Amino acid sequence: MTDQEIVAASERLLRPYRIREDCPYLSEDQRELSRLDLEGRSAWMGEWLMLAASNVLLAPTTVRSR
Amino acid sequence: MENPYFTLHHEFREAGAEVLISSGQACVAFGIATFSKDGDWIIRENEASCNAVLSVLGKHGAMYRLGAPLHPGWLCVGWTSHFEFRAQAGLRMRTDFCSRPPRVPLVDNLWSRAVKAAGLDVVDVESLIRLKQTRRQRDYSIIGALAEVAGWEEDLPELALQYLQDYDGLLRAVQRWPAEAAACEREAVRRLRGDAPRTEVVAAIAVEQDARIQEDQARIAAMQAKFEAYASQFGKLRSRWRRTGTPLPEQHRELVIEAESLRKEVL
């Protein structure tokens, strides 16, 4: 695995892509998120933060990362 | 509303800081996490980057949280710096900085492999996987997800074989890349190649996760032991800063003096 391959894979993940439906790690939310561009992903996170700040409970099925 | 941590990254860059988005916000950028409650950055170990970040955070009225001063003198021995401030709509922003993250053997690789898009600078996916080998169980789902989307889907067998965290995915990877699997020293892969029962493969993955968790716990415990006396002093400083509304540049000056002893402790 070369540095170039790692960079190419990383760049690919910054663009919209599809996650297979039976992926055991990711929920429907993440599958939807992966299909968005960076702007869309950023807006989604902004929305989550606003909801959190408003003390709205976050969906328990979502993978949250530190 | 844009992700405020991405906005903050733009501000750091505009101020002249060399920083890379890491950990949870990198997962958000890569599309596998919808949410992360704080922001972690890798920062270049130089005064220009530290001063630029401090300048931006100072304008936001940030306050130091427990950690070292943001300065190359502490970063270079492995200490980290932490801040918080209130942003629009009362959002509590928490920001963390390091220059020598754990489990990443070659820091220079972090910079040469960093990826850029839409004004963001993000750590590469392999480094992110290493960073995520923490004491938190939930991070291993993230590692599996990254191995799935970058290893399996992007045709990087080493990444898939080394980091997938589920039996079925790993079995498929071994069948798809037999030559690479033969060269892989991971115990779970070795057992799959030997037609071991599912329970043995699953156990090998669990034992491996637990070993990583224990390693990280030991690392943090060692750090906390070196930190104990300083933490107590820091608490007193912070209480005063809160009471008096001390601006960040003054906090920084005081912390540089208070944290002098930490510079002798290599982490």
pTM of structure: 0.92
pLDDT tens readout for residues B139-194: 999 999 999 999 999 999 999 999 999 999 999 999 999 999 999 999 999 999 99
- B30 reaches A (C-beta below 8 A): yes
Residue A25 pLDDT: 92
Residue A57 pLDDT: 45
Q: Judged by CB atoms within 8 Å, which residues 23-62 of A form the interface with B?
A: 23-26, 29-30, 33-36, 38-39, 41-50, 52-53, 58, 62
ipTM summary value:
0.90
Mutate to test the interface with A, among B9, B32, B155 (most CBs of A within 10 A): B32
Contact state of B150 with A9 under an 8 Å Cβ cutoff: yes
| Whether A58 contacts A51, CB under 8 Å | yes
